[in-house]
C-alpha cells in the first residue's frame, strides 16, 4: 500500500477514543433518525412501485381500474383500413371516458359491446371477444353480448364455453330463433342429444317448418338409429321448404341406407339442381358486416348475400361504394350482380374508367363482349387483360373463341391450348377446344377432346351429341 | 464478532420498517383499488417486464432453422398443383425418399434419394386424374412397398362420380402396376391401410370428399385384389381417414374429418372384427370453419393417440383467402373415446400440421403449412411451427413467407443427421404466382443454429 492510500485509510478509521466522545442520548437520536429515514425511504420506494401499476386517475372508483384494463388496446394495424382507425379511436375514447366518469355499468357495457361490434365487423376477432366479454360482464341483461361472445368463440371452434353463453341468451330472449339453432347445433356436436332436440324443437316452435331445425332433428334421429323418423322429418320439411338442398341430400342418404337406389338417385338429383348448403339467417351477426371498413370484405359479402338477403347485399354494396367510390373493384362486383348484360357492360366500363389496366375488368368486359358477338373489341380487351397478368383459363378460352370468329383459327387454337394447360380439368375449356378443332377440320382430335369432356363430366348432353355427330359424320 | 444488544435491537427495528412500511402502503392502496394485496403485489412485481422484449428463441428460429431446397421435377409452364407428399424408403435402400401426388401432370412421383443426397423424381404407374393422397403400404404383404392412391378425378369442386381407389403394385423392383380397387364413386381424398377385421390382411379406410355428395367406407380385403365395401357415413367433405388404435383396446379404429357444412370429427370404433360404431368426437358450429386436415399423434406423450387438426380451407372462396378463425387445434384423448378440444393457435390458411420434436427438447412441437394466407401481406407465413413449452403451451413462430401456397407437409429425418426435416408440396390454385414451388425439402438446421444463450 502506498503512502497516500495509508493516509486515506487512516482518515476513515476512527480513533480509539471516538465512540467515547458520543453519549448514549446522542447515539439513540442518531439511530432514531436513521430508522426514520429508512421508513421514509421504504414508503417512497413502495409508492414509486405502485405508480407503475396504478393507472387510475385520482378520484376514479377502484373498479374503474379493472374495467379500463379490460378494454382491448387498438391494434397496431388499425390504420390499414381507411376510416377504421378513426372509428375505433372514437369508440375506444368514449368507452374509456365513460368508465372514468363512472357511468352506469350497463352504459359502459353497451359501449364495450359496440366497440366489439366494430372489431368483429372488421375481422379483429380476438379484440371483439374482449369487448363482448366486458359487455356481457357489465350489461348481463342484454342478450346480444352473450350471444355475440358465444358466436365469436364458436367461430374458432370452441364448444364447451359456448353452451352457457347460449343458454343465457335464450333465457334473456327466448324469441331469438338463431340462438336456439346455435344452441341445438352446439349440443348436438357435443353429443348431448336430448338438449339438442329440445333446442331444435324450440326453434321449430318459433319458426314452423324451419328447414335447419328439421335437418338437425333428422340428423338426431339418424344418430339414434331411427331412420324412419329421419325420413318423415325430412319429407315433412321438404314439403314446406323444397328449395333447401340439404334436406334432399340427407334424404338421399336415408334412402341409401334403406336400400332404395332409385329414390336415392332422385333425391340427389334434386339436391344437385338446387345448389349448395347455406347458413340460416342471423340478423344480430349478419348486420354487423355493414360496419366493416374493409371494402374487399364488403364486396365479398355482397356476393355471399346476393341470393340470401338481397337487401343486406345492397346495403353492403352501397357502403363499399361510399367508402371507395373510385375503387374499380366495386364496379367489377356490380357488373357481376346486375341483371342485364348491358348493365354489366356499363359497370365494367366504369371500372375501366378508374383503372384502364384493371385485369378483372378487362377480362370480364372482354368475355361479355365475346358473348355479345363484339369479337374485335373482345379480342382487344382480352389481349390487354393478358398483358396485365390476367392469364386465366377463362380469358384464354374466350380469346380463342373470339379469335376463331374473326377467322384467326391458328391464334385461336393457341389460345385454347393455353386455356387447357391452365385448367386441365375444366370440361368447358375442353368443349371449346373441341369446337375449334372441329371448325379446323381436325375431327379425330375434336372427338378426343369431346371424350375428355365426358371423362370430366360424365353424361354431358352437348358433348355426347357432338361426339355422336362426329362419329356419324 | 459479538454484537451488542442495542445493535441487535436497531437491526430488528430497521428490518421491521423495511417490511411493515411497504406492507402498510400496499395494503392501503389495495383497499383503495378494491384489490387483494397479493394481486397488487403481483402487478407491481410483474409490471416491470418488457412485453416487447425480443424472444431469443424466435430470432434464432427465424434465422436458420429450416433451409429450403427444391427437390424433384423443376417448375413447369403451368402452376404446380401438388396435392400430397409423403416420406418412405420406397426402394428399401436405407435412404428416405419422397412420394408426391401431382395434380397438374396427373402422376404419382417418386423422388428417390441417392447416397450423395441428391433427389431424382421418377413418375410411377399410369396417369391418375387429380390424385389427392398417396400412402405407402405393403398392401399385398409381399415384402415390398406398394402405393395406395386416392383419386379425386378433379381437384376443384365437382359432384360427379369420378373418384377411384387405386393401388400401384410394386413388383419389388419399383416397377408399378396400376390396379383400380374401386371406381366411379364420389371424389376420393384418402385411403389408409390397416387390418381392420383382424384376419391378417390389409383392409382400407376410404374417405370420399365428393362435393355435396361424399361418404366414408371401409373396404374389406377378400384376397386376390378383391375388396368389399362397407359404408360408414354418408356425409360430404371427408378429407382424411387415418387409422390407429384410438381407444387403446388393441384393434384399429378409423378417425375422420368431415368438412363442408358439417365440420365434424368422427371416430369409428372397431370391435376388432370389422364392425364399427360411430362416435362424433368433435364438431364446430361454425359451418365455415374450414376443416382442412387431421393427423394422429400422441401429442402430449401420455400414451394415447390424440388428433391434430387444422382449419384453413378456402378452396371455394372467391377470392381464396384466410379467415380470422383459421388455425390449429388438438383433440386431447381423455379416454373412453372422449376428446377435449384445445386450441393451439391462429394461423391463417392452416392446411396440414405434423407433430414433430423439431428442436429435440423432448416434447412434440407442431409444424403447419398454409395454403391460403393473405399472400399480398409482407409477413404472411406459409410455414410455421408452434413451439411446445413442455406443458402443452404453444408459441407461434413463423418460419417462411415463401414459397407460398403450401398445402402438403410430411416429416422425417431425410438426411439421417438425427434432426427431423420437413417436405412440403405447393398447390398454386390462385394468384399471386410469383413465389411458386413444387416440392421443397426443408433441412432442419437447428443444431447448426445455436440459440442465443443456450449454445446448442
Question: Which ipTM score applies to this complex?
Answer: 0.77
Q: Cβ contacts (< 8 Å) between A46 and chain B: which residues?
A: 21-22, 25-26
Q: Closest to B26 (Cβ–Cβ): which among A46, A272, A277? A: A46
Looking at chain A, which residue has its C-alpha nearest residue B106?
A424
Residues contacting A245, CB < 8 A, separation 6+: A270, A271, A272, A274, A275, A276, A277, B212
Q: State which H helix or E strand residue A183 sits in.
A: helix A177-189
Q: Do domains A174-280 and A293-472 have the same CATH topology?
A: yes
Full pLDDT tens readout for chain B, 456 residues: 456 777 778 888 888 888 887 787 777 766 555 456 666 666 666 543 333 333 434 444 444 689 999 999 999 888 999 999 999 999 999 999 999 999 999 999 999 999 889 999 999 999 999 999 999 999 999 999 999 999 999 888 777 889 999 999 999 999 999 999 999 999 999 999 999 999 999 999 999 998 878 999 999 999 999 999 999 999 989 999 999 999 999 999 999 999 988 999 999 999 999 999 999 999 999 999 999 999 999 999 999 999 999 999 998 776 788 988 999 999 999 999 999 999 999 999 999 999 999 999 999 999 999 999 999 899 999 999 999 999 999 999 999 999 999 999 999 999 999 999 999 999 998 889 999 999 999 999 886 554 433 333
Say if B327 is an interface residue toward chain A (CB within 8 Å).
yes
Residues contacting B98, CB < 8 A, separation 6+: B71, B72, B85, B86, B87, B110, B111, B113, B119, B410, B414, B423, B439, B441
**Preferred mutation among A30, A35, A53 to probe B, highest tally of B CBs within 10 A:** A53
Q: Closest to B212 (Cβ–Cβ): which among A56, A271, A455? A: A271
Closest to B176 in 3D by CA, of B148, B205, B152, B154: B148
Judge whether A338 and A347 are in contact, CB under 8 Å.
yes
Residue A53: band (very low, low, confident or very high) from pLDDT cuts 50, 70, 90:
low
Per domain, the residue ranges of chain A are 174-280, 293-472
Asked whether the beta carbons of residue A156 and residue B286 sit closer than 8 angstroms, the reply is yes
**Preferred mutation among B285, B428, B436 to probe A, highest tally of A CBs within 10 A:** B285
Q: Closest to A53 (Cβ–Cβ): which among B6, B44, B235? A: B44
CA-based angle B411:B413:B414, to the nearest 5? 95
Judge whether B383 and B66 are in contact, CB under 8 Å.
yes
**Preferred mutation among A189, A200, A225, A244 to probe B, highest tally of B CBs within 10 A:** A189
Judge whether B292 and B325 are in contact, CB under 8 Å.
no
Say if B4 is an interface residue toward chain A (CB within 8 Å).
no
Residues contacting A272, CB < 8 A, separation 6+: A245, B159, B212, B213
The CATH topology of domain A293-472 is 1.25.40
Q: State which H helix or E strand residue B254 sits in.
A: strand B253-258
Q: What is the CATH number of domain A174-280?
A: 1.25.40.10
Amino acid at each position: 500500500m502506498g503512502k497516500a492510500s495509508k493516509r486515506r485509510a487512516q482518515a476513515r478509521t476512527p480513533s480509539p477514543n471516538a465512540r467515547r466522545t458520543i453519549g448514549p442520548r446522542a447515539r439513540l437520536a442518531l439511530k432514531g433518525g436513521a430508522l426514520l429515514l429508512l421508513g421514509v425511504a421504504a414508503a417512497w420506494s413502495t409508492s414509486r412501485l405502485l405508480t407503475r401499476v396504478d393507472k387510475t386517475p385520482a378520484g376514479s372508483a377502484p373498479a374503474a381500474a379493472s374495467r379500463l384494463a379490460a378494454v382491448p388496446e387498438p391494434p397496431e394495424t388499425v390504420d390499414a383500413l381507411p376510416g377504421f382507425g378513426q372509428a375505433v379511436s372514437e369508440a375506444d375514447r368514449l368507452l374509456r371516458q365513460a368508465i372514468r366518469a363512472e357511468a352506469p355499468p350497463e352504459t359502459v357495457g353497451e359501449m364495450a359491446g359496440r366497440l366489439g361490434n366494430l372489431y368483429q365487423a372488421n375481422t379483429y376477432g380476438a379484440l371483439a371477444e374482449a369487448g363482448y366479454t366486458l359487455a356481457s360482464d357489465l350489461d348481463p341483461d342484454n342478450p346480444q353480448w352473450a350471444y355475440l361472445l358465444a358466436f365469436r368463440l364458436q367461430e374458432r371452434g370452441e364448444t364447451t364455453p359456448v353452451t352457457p353463453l347460449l343458454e343465457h341468451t335464450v333465457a334473456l330472449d327466448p324469441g331469438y330463433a338463431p340462438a336456439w339453432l346455435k344452441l341445438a347445433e352446439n349440443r348436438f356436436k357435443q353429443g348431448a342429444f336430448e338438449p339438442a332436440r329440445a333446442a331444435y324443437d324450440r326453434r321449430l316452435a318459433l319458426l314452423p317448418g324451419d328447414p335447419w331445425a328439421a335437418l338437425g332433428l333428422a340428423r338426431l334421429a339418424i344418430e339414434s338409429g331411427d331412420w324412419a323418423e329421419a325420413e318423415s322429418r325430412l319429407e315433412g320439411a321438404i314439403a314446406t321448404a323444397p328449395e333447401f338442398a340439404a334436406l334432399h341430400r340427407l334424404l338421399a342418404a336415408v334412402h341409401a341406407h334403406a336400400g332404395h337406389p332409385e329414390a336415392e338417385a332422385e333425391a340427389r338429383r334434386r339436391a344437385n339442381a338446387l345448389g349448395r348448403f347455406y347458413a340460416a339467417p342471423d340478423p344480430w351477426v349478419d348486420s354487423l358486416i355493414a360496419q366493416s371498413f374493409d371494402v374487399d370484405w364488403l364486396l365479398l359479402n355482397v356476393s355471399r348475400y346476393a341470393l340470401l338477403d338481397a337487401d343486406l347485399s345492397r346495403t353492403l354494396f352501397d357502403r363499399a361504394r361510399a367508402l371507395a367510390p373510385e375503387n374499380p373493384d366495386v364496379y367489377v362486383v356490380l357488373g357481376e350482380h346486375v341483371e342485364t348484360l348491358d348493365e354489366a357492360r356499363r359497370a365494367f366500363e366504369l371500372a375501366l374508367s378508374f383503372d384502364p389496366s384493371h385485369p378483372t375488368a378487362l377480362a370480364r368486359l372482354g368475355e361479355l363482349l365475346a358473348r355479345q358477338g363484339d369479337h374485335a373489341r373482345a379480342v382487344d380487351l382480352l389481349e390487354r387483360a393478358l398483358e396485365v397478368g390476367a392469364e386465366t383459363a377463362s380469358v384464354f378460352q374466350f380469346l380463342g373463341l373470339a379469335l376463331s370468329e374473326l377467322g384467326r383459327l391458328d391464334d385461336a387454337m393457341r389460345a385454347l391450348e393455353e386455356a387447357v394447360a391452365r385448367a386441365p380439368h375444366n370440361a368447358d375449356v375442353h368443349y371449346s377446344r373441341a369446337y375449334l378443332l372441329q371448325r379446323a377440320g381436325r375431327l379425330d382430335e375434336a372427338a378426343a377432346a369431346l371424350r375428355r369432356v365426358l371423362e370430366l363430366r360424365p353424361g354431358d348432353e352437348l358433348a355426347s351429341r357432338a361426339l355422336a355427330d362426329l362419329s356419324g359424320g | 464478532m459479538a454484537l451488542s444488544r442495542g445493535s441487535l435491537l436497531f437491526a430488528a427495528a430497521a428490518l421491521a420498517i423495511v417490511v411493515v412500511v411497504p406492507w402498510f402502503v400496499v395494503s392501503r392502496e389495495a383497499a383503495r383499488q378494491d384489490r387483494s394485496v397479493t394481486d397488487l403485489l403481483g402487478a407491481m412485481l410483474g409490471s416491470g417486464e418488457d412485453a416487447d422484449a425480443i424472444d431469443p428463441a424466435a430470432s434464432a428460429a427465424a434465422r436458420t432453422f429450416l433451409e429450403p431446397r427444391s427437390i424433384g421435377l423443376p417448375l413447369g409452364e403451368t402452376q404446380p398443383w401438388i396435392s400430397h407428399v409423403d416420406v418412405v424408403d420406397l426402394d428399401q435402400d436405407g435412404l428416405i425418399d419422397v412420394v408426391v401426388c401431382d395434380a397438374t401432370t396427373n402422376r404419382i412421383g417418386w423422388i428417390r434419394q441417392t447416397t450423395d443426397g441428391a433427389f431424382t423424381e421418377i413418375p410411377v404407374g399410369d396417369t391418375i386424374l387429380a390424385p389427392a393422397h398417396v400412402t405407402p403400404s405393403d398392401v399385398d404383404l409381399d415384402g415390398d412397398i406398394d402405393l395406395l392412391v386416392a383419386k379425386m378425378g378433379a381437384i376443384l369442386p365437382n359432384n360427379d362420380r369420378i373418384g377411384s381407389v387405386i393401388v400401384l403394385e410394386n413388383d419389388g423392383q419399383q416397377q408399378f402396376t396400376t390396379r383400380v380397387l374401386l371406381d366411379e364413386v364420389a371424389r376420393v381424398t384418402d385411403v389408409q391401410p390397416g387390418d381392420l377385421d383382424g384376419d391378417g390382411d390389409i383392409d382400407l379406410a376410404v374417405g370420399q370428399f365428393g362435393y355435396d355428395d361424399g361418404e366414408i367406407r371401409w373396404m374389406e380385403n377378400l384376397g386376390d385384389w378383391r375388396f368389399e365395401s362397407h359404408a360408414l357415413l354418408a356425409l360430404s367433405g371427408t378429407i382424411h381417414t387415418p387409422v390407429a388404435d384410438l381407444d387403446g383396446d388393441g384393434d384399429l379404429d378409423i378417425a375422420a374429418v368431415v368438412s363442408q357444412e358439417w365440420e365434424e370429427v368422427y371416430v369409428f370404433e372397431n370391435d376388432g372384427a370389422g364392425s364399427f360404431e360411430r362416435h362424433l368426437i368433435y364438431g364446430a358450429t361454425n359451418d365455415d370453419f374450414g376443416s382442412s386436415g387431421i393427423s394422429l399423434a400422441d401429442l402430449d406423450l401420455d400414451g394415447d393417440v390424440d388428433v391434430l387438426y387444422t382449419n384453413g380451407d378456402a378452396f371455394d372462396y372467391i377470392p381464396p383467402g384466410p379467415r380470422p378463425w383459421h388455425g390449429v387445434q388438438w383433440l386431447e384423448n381423455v379416454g373412453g373415446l372422449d376428446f377435449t378440444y384445445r386450441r393451439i393457435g391462429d394461423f391463417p390458411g392452416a392446411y396440414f400440421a405434423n407433430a414433430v420434436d423439431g428442436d429435440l427438447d423432448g416434447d412434440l412441437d407442431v409444424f403447419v403449412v398454409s395454403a391460403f394466407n393473405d399472400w399480398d401481406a409482407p409477413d404472411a407465413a406459409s410455414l410455421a411451427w408452434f413451439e411446445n413449452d413442455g406443458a402443452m403451451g404453444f408459441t407461434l413462430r413463423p418460419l417462411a413467407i415463401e414459397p407460398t401456397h403450401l398445402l402438403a407437409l410430411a416429416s422425417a429425418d431425410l438426411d439421417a443427421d438425427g434432426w427431423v426435416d420437413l417436405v412440403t408440396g405447393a398447390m398454386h390454385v390462385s394468384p399471386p404466382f410469383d413465389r411458386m414451388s413444387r416440392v421443397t425439402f426443408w433441412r432442419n438446421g437447428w443444431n447448426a443454429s445455436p440459440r442465443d444463450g443456450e449454445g446448442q
